[in-house]
Amino acid sequence: MSEEKDNREVPSRPVIRPRWTCLRCGHVWIGSKQTPPVLCVKCRNPYWARPRKRPRRLFYTKAQIELLKQAVQIGLEEHQKAHKSVFEGTSDEDSDCICDNCTLMKKALGLPTGAH
């Protein structure tokens, strides 16, 4: 029997195994067959080869939203202090900064942006 095993031929080219990637969870694995798997081996999703139509939504708690608003408010105040020297000598109506940073922060806080 040992002679039979020794007489086997060694394949002349390496075996090519497919590499699969789940478009849902991002898991990458090496397949054992050339045919696509039915499920992702990690998340078991049958739609692993189809990208999501809509990205996942991020859900924040009310406390997290309040902390984010406070951080944006502090950032807006600091940003406006930095621009104060630019607007010295102008009336209060003209001193409203309309740069992109101020506009984005005001929109996040629900404040009027000053852009017409």
Domain boundary among 51, 72, 89: 51
The residue type found at 116 is: H
Q: Is the predicted pLDDT of residue 90 greater than 60, yes or no?
A: no
User: Does the structure show a pLDDT above 70 at 78?
Assistant: yes
Q: What is the pLDDT of residue 115?
A: 53
- List Cα–Cα distances, 56 to 34, 51, 52, in angstroms: 31, 12, 9
* Among 40, 65, 63, 62, CA closest to 50: 40
Which of 7-11, 25-29, 51-55, 80-84 has the weakest average pLDDT? Answer: 7-11
User: Do 43 and 70 belong together in one domain?
Assistant: no
Tokens 């406006």, residue?
80
pLDDT class for 116, splitting at 50, 70, 90?
Answer: very low
Overall average pLDDT of the 61-74 stretch = 83
Domain count, the chain: 2
Tell whether 1 and 46 lie within a shared domain. Answer: yes
Contact 98, 86 (CB under 8 A): no
pTM: 0.40
Q: What is the largest CA-CA distance in the chain?
A: 100
